[in-house]
Amino acid sequence: MQLDRKPLAFLQLPATKGDLYAPASGSKGLVHHIVLHNTNTTAEAVVLNYHNGTNEYEIFSQSIAAGATLIWDFKGAGDIVEDGGKYTGNTTTASKVTMKVMGTEETPSAGQPLIAGATSNLWVPPSVAHAYDDEFESSTLSGWTGVQNISDGVAGSLSYGTVDAYDTSFTSGNVVRVNVNDPVRPSWLQIQPPIVGKQFYIYKAITLPTNLLMVARTKFNKKLGSPANDASIFLEFTESSGGVPTSNSRVELFMNESDGSQCQAQAQSVSSTGTPSASTLSTDVDDQGQALEYGAIHKIGTTFHVWVGTASGNWIYMTSYSGLDFTPDMVGLGAWSTSTASPGSSIVAFDFVRFYETDNFLL
């Protein structure tokens, strides 16, 4: 949650009961102090009530002498005014008692469930999660079966908490480093493959319904002048064999597909016999890699549509694939790295991967 310490209300009380303070929809108010000052030449009878959205009861009744000031100080977290709650009240004579409410408002931020009335951002989790969703808010990967070196068709393993962007010696093997929900990058999965020029991805089995939209938010490191296909991050629907992903049979979206100095997205499918389709590339954005932030693959019936999204929320339609000779039953999140140049093996990251059973693309 985002906490904003500020004056919550500043007004003069009415003679007839009215609303005095209510937090913005989707937020909570934490009231620390209430200042009441009587500017009249005679005493004023001040009444304050609390309304929780259903019931209203009096919580304060005090006569304040002419020219006097009363400060109501709440200890600890303060008096909580929940979403939908409010203070109401009045005094003897309108516009004679000044009221100032000071405290903190607690508002939804990234990583919090979307609340009715809150600002809608793509990175905010839906109010109802799909069974396959992962927000990466645990310290380990849960529900992901393992990691596979797709290029060689061999199993890999995970090393938790060992991601190191400056390690130039990570140049062999099938161990993939991951940090999950790290204190420095909470609610993110960071993946660091060894510098061997191979494709690695973590995977889990799913049952694809007729329509399924998969969306992921990503980050990646980009090196200037890096060799072809360095530090690609990718999102896949793939087919399994013997409980692991096959080296073929996949629909995939690469981001930071870096041929030379380029930085772009690439969509591709690979048949069950290993024949790749022609690649569809987005416009080269050179070294502005963070312009590419979201990826999506949308299954509608037997057609797979591929999209890439920017940090500003724009979506670019890449291509579609129909008539595939395989049936995906796994999801893969992956990376590869080919460059041994300083500062070391590159890192890719996923903030979330989410699923929506829909035939509409409304992101």
CATH of the domain at 24: 2.60.120
Mark whether 103 and 223 lie in a shared domain: no
Residue where a domain stops, chosen among 107, 134, 165: 107
Q: What pLDDT, on the 0 to 100 scale, is given for residue 3?
A: 67
pLDDT at 26 over 80: no
If one compares 9 and 83, the residue with the highest pLDDT of the two is 9
Mark whether 181 and 271 lie in a shared domain: yes
- What is the average pLDDT across 307-326? 90
Mark whether 25 and 156 lie in a shared domain: no
- Asked whether the beta carbons of 133 and 354 are under 8 A apart, the reply is yes
pLDDT at 117 over 90: no
User: pLDDT band at 120, cuts 50/70/90?
Assistant: low
For CA atoms 120, 361, 235, 329, the dihedral sign is: positive
Report the range of poorest mean pLDDT among 78-82, 114-118, 235-239: 114-118
pLDDT at 96 over 90: yes
Q: What pLDDT, on the 0 to 100 scale, is given for residue 318?
A: 92
DSSP letter at 128 equals S
Mark whether 24 and 173 lie in a shared domain: no
Residues 6+ apart with CB under 8 A from 324: 251, 269, 271, 302, 304
CATH of the domain at 164: 2.60.120.200
Place of tokens 């590869």: 336
Residues 6+ apart with CB under 8 A from 169: none
Q: How many CB atoms lie within 10 A of CB 60?
A: 15
Nearest to 304 by CA among 328, 287, 283: 328
256-283 core/surface letters (b: 16 or more CB in 10 A; e: else): bbbeeebbbbbbbbbeeeeeeeeebbbe
- What is the average pLDDT across 47-73? 94
Has residue 91 been placed in a domain? Answer: yes
pLDDT at 279 over 90: no
Give the total number of structural domains in the chain: 2
If one compares 360 and 261, the residue with the highest pLDDT of the two is 360
First to last CA, the chain: 24
Residues 6+ apart with CB under 8 A from 362: none
Q: How many CB atoms lie within 10 A of CB 95?
A: 13
Residue where a domain stops, chosen among 85, 107, 129: 107
Mark whether 209 and 286 lie in a shared domain: yes
Residue where a domain stops, chosen among 60, 80, 107: 107
Has residue 74 been placed in a domain? Answer: yes
pLDDT at 60 over 80: yes
Q: What pLDDT, on the 0 to 100 scale, is given for residue 226?
A: 61
For the chain, percent of residues with pLDDT exceeding 90 = 58
- What is the average pLDDT across 308-312? 82
Which structural domain range is residue 60 located in?
A: 7-107
Average pLDDT of the chain to the nearest whole number = 87
- For the record, the structure tokens of 106 come out as 């607690």
Has residue 363 been placed in a domain? Answer: no
Has residue 134 been placed in a domain? Answer: no
3-state SS, residue 291: helix
Nearest to 245 by CA among 361, 150, 127: 150
Mark whether 195 and 85 lie in a shared domain: no
Has residue 179 been placed in a domain? Answer: yes
If one compares 251 and 3, the residue with the highest pLDDT of the two is 251
